Amino acid sequence: MKIENEKQLRKLYDLPSGRAQAKQLEFLEKHSIHFIEKSPFVVISTYDKNGKVDASPRGGKPGFVRILGKQEIVIPDSKGNNRIDSLINIVDTGRIGMFFLIPGVDETLRINGHAYISTELSLLTLFSTESNPPKSCIVIKIEEVFLHCAKALMRSDLWNEKAKIDRSDFPTMGKMLKDQLGTLGEIESQEAMLKRYKKDL
């Protein structure tokens, strides 16, 4: 049976508990601020004017996402592959969702809101000490913020050292891309790829 509306879903799922609903805020407070300050990694979700969805990782030293106020944060658009899918989507729709992670912490932080791309010097200056300062940044006006329970990360055992695979047991990016694209020539080694990437960090 294909589920087509919320009424059908509610036949499968109970209503959220009082705490699950009440935890949603419209602004940052001390715990969400602390979470952002400790987080070195966030996934941002965007969509374009045709509804095509995208999710993209962003990383940096803990606190690389800067807090401008209780309802405003800014993410540097660090040097990448120049696809700028997320930036194009934000220009198209002005919407964003974020998912913050802290290594070793199973709880996560979710933020949703309005976003725009800025080249304002006062904002770019916040990231001027980086080895590759961003050309632009993403400014987010927060509409929803809430802590997410630990169940997903507990199930995945994400932070468990014993759950890590040996990197040599997994194909290199060069090998995967060659297979996907059918390109000729030498496969870039993992070591060469990491050396090249480090120049852009």
- The full set of domain ranges for the chain reads 15-156, 165-198
Q: Within 13 A of 103's CA, how many CA atoms are on the CB side?
A: 8
pLDDT in tens, 142-151: 999 999 999 9
Residue 174 is predicted with a pLDDT of: 87
21 has pLDDT over 80:
no
> Residue 71: which region, alpha, beta or left (left: phi > 0; alpha: psi -120 to 50)?
alpha
Residue 188 is predicted with a pLDDT of: 83
Summarize the confidence of residues 54-68 as an average pLDDT.
Answer: 96
pTM more than 0.95:
no
| Average pLDDT taken over every residue of the chain | 93
For 15-156, give the CATH class: mainly beta
